[in-house]
Amino acid sequence: MEQNNVFTIPGGWAAETVEPPLIDVTGISRRFMDIPYASQSPSQKLDIYLPEEGEGPFPTMIFIHGGGFFGGKKGDAQVGTILNAIRYGFAVVSVEYRLAGEAKYPAGLFDLKAAIRFLRANAAKYMLDGDRFAVGGTSAGGYYAVMAAATQDDPAFEDLSMGCASYSSRVQAVISWFGTFDLVLQSKSFNNPDMPSFEALLCGAAPDAIPGLMYFTNPMNFLTPAFPPILLFHGDDDHIVPVEESRMLCRRLTEIKGGRDVQYVEREGFMHGDFGFMKPDMEAVAVEFLKKYLSA
């Protein structure tokens, strides 16, 4: 990593692992760690990182880690994809959620929306700007980011009993890094005998056996012109989540939104979880996107 980063990542991380090492954030002086946003599970916690200077309120990037829906943590290396945004005046929040081994779909989606509501309800306490929230994530986290944005204001896709029911879970922008979106397509595209079927783990059965439920897992079925501005990253050498998933979402959103507010960055030779997505050129694209759509 670049030496001017506000964090460090231990070596030895293989890009395809679902358990990246924890990130060292001791260099960030203004941070709030392990904040509960709901009470059903110990997994329902988040971390908040603030810029070193200023009293806010800060526009906020809400990050969701990946890990095949059954791995990953809010404090692992994945948050390094966007954590440097605090250098540019953004708060960064990393959200932990219930994984598939603990609870099935849509628990993780409910968790993310509960976290957004909590952050909006407590924005003043943590110096956040509740009118300028972006949501984004890597891999499975990219899925949840897009799914949350696609189902904004739909009561069927959130559990208001988890708290802060009078606050909105809407977001103003979305970023997905190598996200999966069509879980049926994903189940047919990736077959590794050394890894479990994360679609079956997430949903409780193989996708082919539950077509009715699978309809409600696919954000493509809920896209409207009101979908927030989105930035998609993907590598064309991704052997875990096919690059066609981001291409397909980009085409569909471009059509629905009339060509507005849809940005797609595809990198030749990049694999799933490629460290190249953390390099300064990719970081700059994400920061410029946030500046454009979370401006005052």
Each residue's pLDDT tens digit, 42-62: 999 999 999 999 999 999 999
Each residue's pLDDT tens digit, 20-40: 889 999 999 999 999 999 999
Burial 237-271 (b: 16+ CB within 10 A, else e): ebebbbbebbeebbebbeebbeeebbbbbebeebb
Residue among 130, 61, 134 nearest 91 (CA): 61
Least confident of 2-16, 43-57, 180-194, 234-248: 2-16
pLDDT tops 70 at residue 195: no
Specify the higher pLDDT residue, 186 or 147. 147
Q: What count of other Cβ atoms lies within 10 Å of the Cβ of residue 170?
A: 18
Mean pLDDT taken over the chain = 92
Distance between CA atoms of 95 and 83, rounded to whole angstroms? 13
Question: Quick one: average pLDDT of 116-136?
Answer: 98
The pair of three-digit structure tokens given for residue 163, joined into one six-digit string: 């708290």
pLDDT-derived band of residue 194, with 50, 70 and 90 as boundaries? low
pLDDT tops 60 at residue 2: no
Amino acid 285: pLDDT: 98
Amino acid at 107: A
Each residue's pLDDT tens digit, 87-100: 999 999 999 999 99
Domains of the chain, each with CATH number or no CATH: 31-293 (3.40.50.1820)
Q: Please give the distance of CA 19 from its chain centroid, rounded to a whole number.
A: 16
Write the burial class of residue 89 (CB in 10 Å: 0-12 exposed, 13-18 middle, 19+ buried).
Answer: middle
Each residue's pLDDT tens digit, 260-271: 999 999 999 999
